[in-house]
A and B are shown apart, each in its own frame.
Chain A
Amino acid sequence: MTPRVSPILAILGLLWLVVVAGLAVLQPAALALSTVTAVLQFSTILALVALGQALVIVCGGAGIDISVGGMVSLAVVLAMLLVKAGLSGVFLPFLCLALGLLLGLVNGFLVTRLRLLPLIATLGTFYVYSGVAVALTGGAAQAGVPAFLLPWGRGTVWGLPLPFLTLALPPCSL
Chain B
Amino acid sequence: VRAILQRFGQREALLTLGCIVSGLVFSSLSPYFATPDNLVTIARNSTELLLIGLGMTLLLGIGGIDVSVGSVLGLAAIGVGRLLEAGAPPALAALAGPVAGLALGLVAAFVVVFGRIPAIVATLGLLGVYRAGIFLALGGSWLSGLPVGLTNLLAARIFGAPVSLLVIALAYGAVFVAVRLTPFGAHLLAIGHSEAKARLAGIGVRRVQVAAFVISGGLSGLAASFYVATYRNVEMTIGATLALEAVAAVVLGGTAVTGGRISLLGTAFGVILLRLLQNGLLLVGVPSLWQPVVTGLLLLLVLGAEALSGRLLLERLYPSALGAASPRETR
Contacts and interface: CB of A to CB of B under 8 A. Distances in A.
Interface of A: 60-62, 64, 110, 114-117, 119-121, 123-132, 134-135, 138-139
Given A130-B292, A131-B292, A124 B300 contact: yes
A129 B295 CA distance: 11
Contacts of B8: none
Interface in B232-247: 244, 247
B244 A131 contact: no
A114 B299 contact: no
9 contacts: A61-B328, A115-B329, A117-B257, A126-B296, A131-B289, A131-B291, A131-B294, A135-B287, A135-B289
Interface in B296-331: 296-297, 299-300, 303-304, 307-308, 311, 326, 328-329, 331
Q: Interface residues of B toward A: which range?
A: 20 to 34
B3 interface: no
A117 B300 CA distance: 11
Given A124-B299, A128-B300, A138 B257 contact: no
Contacts of A123: 244, 247-248, 251, 296, 299
B297 A128 contact: yes
B251 A128 contact: no
Contacts of A60: 331
B293 interface: yes
B258 interface: yes
B308 A114 contact: yes
B189 to A, nearest CB: 18
A120 B296 CA distance: 10
Tell me if B's interface is mostly helix, strand, loop or mixed. helix
B9 to A, nearest CB: 15
Interface of B: 120, 244, 247-248, 251, 257-258, 287, 289-297, 299-300, 303-304, 307-308, 311, 326, 328-329, 331
B295 A127 contact: yes
Contacts of B303: 114, 116, 120-121, 124
Contact of A127 (B251, B287, B293): B293
A116 B307 contact: yes
- 3 closest A-B pairs by beta carbon, nearest first, are A127-B296, A131-B292, A131-B293
A125 B293 contact: no
Contacts of B311: 115
Contact of B296 (A64, A119, A131, A134): A131
A128 B293 contact: yes
B329 to A, nearest CB: 8
Contacts of A114: 303-304, 307-308
A120 B258 CA distance: 10
Contacts of A132: 293
Nearest to A67: B296
Contacts of A124: 248, 296-297, 299-300, 303
Contacts of B329: 115
A63 B131 CA distance: 26
B289 A138 contact: yes
Contacts of B290: 131, 135
B293 A116 contact: no
A124 B248 CA distance: 8
Given A110-B300, A121-B300, A139 B289 contact: yes
A139 B257 CA distance: 32
A130 B293 CA distance: 8
B301 to A, nearest CB: 9
Residue of A61, A126, A127, A131 contacting most chain B CB atoms (<10 Å)? A127
B293 A135 contact: yes
Contacts of B326: 115
Given A115-B326, A134-B292, 14 more contacts: A64-B120, A110-B300, A114-B307, A115-B307, A120-B303, A121-B300, A123-B299, A124-B248, A124-B300, A127-B295, A128-B297, A128-B300, A131-B290, A131-B294
A158 to B, nearest CB: 34
A126 B292 CA distance: 9
B289 A117 contact: no
Nearest to A136: B289
A115 B304 CA distance: 9
Nearest to A125: B296
A61 B303 CA distance: 18
A135 B251 CA distance: 25
B158 to A, nearest CB: 37
